Amino acid sequence: MSSTETQTSRPDANASLDKVRDESSSASPERLDHPVLGRCIFALAIVIAVSHLYFNTLSTLSELWTSALHFGLFGLLCALTMPMIRTRSAGGRRLILGVDLVLGLAALGCALYLIGFENALYARGVNFSTADWVVSVTAVCLILEFARRTTGWFIPVLCIVALTYVAWWGQYVEGLFNFPGLTWETVLFRSYIGGQGMLGSIARISWTYVFMFILFGAFLVKSGAGDFIVELARCAAGRFVGGPGFVAVFASGLMGSVSGSSVANTVSTGVITIPLMRKAGFPARFAAGVEAAASTGGQLMPPVMGAGAFIMASYTQVSYLTIIGVAALPALLYFLSVAMFVRIEAKRSHAVRLDDDSTPTLKDVLKGGWHYLLPLIVLVAALIYGFTPTYAAGIAIVSVIVASWLSKKPMMPRDILDAMVQGTRNIMTTAILLITVGLIVNVVSTTGIGNTFSLMITDWAGGSLLITIVLVALASLILGMGLPVTAAYIVLATLSAPAIYNLIAQSQLLELLTTGQLPEQAKAIFMLAAPDKLALLNSPMEMATAQQLLALVPESFSSQLLEQALTPHAISMALVSAHMIIFWLSQDSNVTPPVCLTAFAAAAIAGTPPMRTGFTAWKIAKGLYIVPLLFAYSPLISGDFSEMLRVFVFGLFGVYAIIAGLEGFLEHRLAWWLRLLMFPVGALMLWPHGTLWLDLAGLAIFILLLAWSSKQGRGVQPITV
């Protein structure tokens, strides 16, 4: 493709990109572009960025005060950038701006009130004064309003249902979910002033990890790393048959590793990759589906992973470095599964190879942009050295500025300020979302409804881990229709992670029983629960016998048995596996109709029907459902490196076989019986049988079929232009 063709194709793409951005954001262009208000918003964003950098490096303020300022500052920014209602009349806009300004200042005032009068509240014995009532109610109402502006009505309504359940109607519910109720004073104290709810652990994750890493991503993009990533992807994969599709996968993976937002990933890389794929001969709907599926994978790719890695580290008490370490291979497996769809479609559609003489070589791209890799190296090195993630991100931000001076366009003071503003605006929706979701998490922890829900899921599933995962997948899809993926993960993790964790840990315990390797300290539990069965524990046994023995252990002893039988590493990895399953499944709403924002964004760029594009993206993103099963039934993230690598390699070819069966195409069109054969061949490599020769047998069969299909498909050669 010539440079002229590239230039002429970009205006339409840019127009689509602008349309997507306008539709996906509630920010008012009139306010952002206003000569006075726009500058005020710009200055406020810089103040927020600088203050949060201070909070995460030099500050000695308490976490409660910092969380309160986080709420107040982002509440003010949200009020000024996102109007309460939209109106076309100038007088109406001025009136709404006045109301929004009052609401924003009220949010900041609530934060300052907590800082100024916290000691007085505790001196009164945590008894509310009139001012405490006013401030607490105002703070809760304001965060619900800001959540409505940023994410719609679903989250505010869910919060209202949760809060009223604790204080009012929970006492009228019969059965497992009956809750005697708390006073409104207690509910409001736990929701705001007490450092729980809005200002609890979820808010702390927001102003620490999430803010610093999204700001780091904004600095990288502003320094020019985004263009470098796309050019690197084009050089590395663009010259292969179907190369533009591989570029979309590669670029989305690299961009997603720092952006952490699937929609932002789509609109930033899709404006380039989708026109390239269409030029190469891919169907427009497939091109949009690939971009949507690949961009969704951006939230699975370390180091940012949206906000998931930080929340997961907080929930599991496993280090952030460990989380991103075990997440790398599964994320790579997902992106390669999308690339397999690209390869198959390239052969089926006879997609051409685009040889563009104006495209620089890989050597030239690395020569001109190698310095963009330095901040990522600095980040990883700082984490390995032992710095906290927030300090590591701060050091990496400084390294972006330093590295930019090795390029032809160094970051000047204005660029640094722009990066601060862009990063602050990027995190605003996430910050409001996380603060609001804290209300729901607080209700769940206060009432114990999470454990009740987990027991109910386990009961419905009949103790089956597979059925439990299916139920969680359905719940994530339903929640994803109204909640962003981060909120869906938080809610699902709070409700269902204990159930999945218990089933995974019990499966490991059953393995110890069947192999006769139960530790001596764990046998003491059975001595109390079933002393007449103690002799059975000294030798291997059948699975049915092991299950019967485990059923004899009282529920009150079950957690102690797991702690005695499993190593601390096994217990922590079982918990990480449970959360990783939920985190992956919570991404499916991005690509699953009827609500699939990433697919809709890609469809706007490609000019294809949104819903049909959503179904295409859903098909391509099948890794979202296959890989979580590997978390549950294999050592993909819980084993040592050799075990993880083995599962990864065989899983890679197993997924390829299943995709070939779904598409009915490998290197040529498959007969119906070969298409059906692909599913058991893939299952042979994916099934957790633990037998190496079965994995090798499945791999050998697939490679033979692949070689034969390649020979059959040589009759039609893709052309080069």
Over residues 533-569, the pLDDT tens digits come to 777 887 888 888 888 888 888 877 788 888 888 888 8
The yes-or-no verdict on residue 12 having pLDDT over 50 is no
3-state secondary structure of 720: strand
Q: Would you report the helix, strand and coil content of the chain in percent, each value rounded to 5?
A: 80, 0, 20
Q: Amino acid identity, residue 709?
A: S
At residue 265, the pLDDT reads 77
Task: Say what the pTM is.
Answer: 0.82
Which of 17-21, 150-154, 184-188 shows the lowest per-residue confidence on average (mean pLDDT)?
17-21
**Torsion angles phi and psi, residue 720, rounded to 5:** -115, 135
Omega within 30 of 0 (cis) for the link into 303: yes
Distance CA 318, CA 61 (A): 25
Residue 269: C-alpha distances to residues 177, 228, 233, 274, 540 (Å): 46, 11, 11, 8, 55
Mean pLDDT value across residues 160-180: 89
Q: Amino acid identity, residue 1?
A: M
Query: HSE of 617 in the Cβ direction (CA atoms, 13 Å)?
Result: 36
Distance CA 321, CA 318 (A): 8
Taking each helix axis as running N to C, give the angle between helix 63-81 and helix 90-123, from 0 to 180 degrees, rounded to the nearest 10: 170
Distance CA 609, CA 665 (A): 25
Share of the chain above pLDDT 90, in %: 37
At residue 269, the pLDDT reads 78
Distance CA 598, CA 294 (A): 10
Omega within 30 of 0 (cis) for the link into 594: yes
Distance CA 584, CA 493 (A): 11
**pLDDT mean across residues, the chain:** 85
Max mean pLDDT range (263-272, 443-452, 566-575): 566-575
Omega within 30 of 0 (cis) for the link into 302: no
* CB neighbour class for 339 (10 Å; exposed up to 12, middle 13-18, buried from 19): buried
What are the tens digits of pLDDT across the range 418-459? Answer: 999 999 998 898 899 889 999 998 998 888 887 788 778 878
At residue 275, the pLDDT reads 84
The yes-or-no verdict on residue 407 having pLDDT over 90 is no
Token pair for 684: 């042979």
Distance CA 585, CA 352 (A): 35
Residue 388: C-alpha distances to residues 153, 319, 327 (Å): 36, 10, 19
More confident residue, 684 or 373: 684
Distance CA 548, CA 539 (A): 16
What are the tens digits of pLDDT across the range 347-389? Answer: 887 766 655 555 667 777 777 788 888 888 888 888 888 888 8
The yes-or-no verdict on residue 322 having pLDDT over 70 is yes
Q: Are 259 and 369 in contact (CB under 8 A)?
A: no
At residue 651, the pLDDT reads 94
At residue 523, the pLDDT reads 81
More confident residue, 516 or 631: 631
3-state secondary structure of 238: coil
At residue 626, the pLDDT reads 93
* CB neighbour class for 698 (10 Å; exposed up to 12, middle 13-18, buried from 19): buried
Distance CA 612, CA 174 (A): 43
Mean pLDDT value across residues 586-609: 84
Token pair for 537: 């524990």
Query: Minimal CA–CA distance to 444: which of 406, 489, 481, 492?
Result: 492
What are the tens digits of pLDDT across the range 209-219? Answer: 889 988 988 89
Which of 50-59, 522-531, 605-614 shows the lowest per-residue confidence on average (mean pLDDT)?
522-531
Q: Are 244 and 276 in contact (CB under 8 A)?
A: yes
The yes-or-no verdict on residue 505 having pLDDT over 50 is yes
Residues 6+ apart with CB under 8 A from 273: 230, 244, 247, 248, 251, 252, 287, 291
Listed by start position, the domains of the chain span 34-191, 448-582, 640-721
Distance CA 76, CA 580 (A): 34
Q: 705: how many CB neighbours lie within 10 A of its CB? A: 19
Q: 383: how many CB neighbours lie within 10 A of its CB? A: 22
Q: 673: how many CB neighbours lie within 10 A of its CB? A: 7
Terminal C-alpha separation, the chain: 7
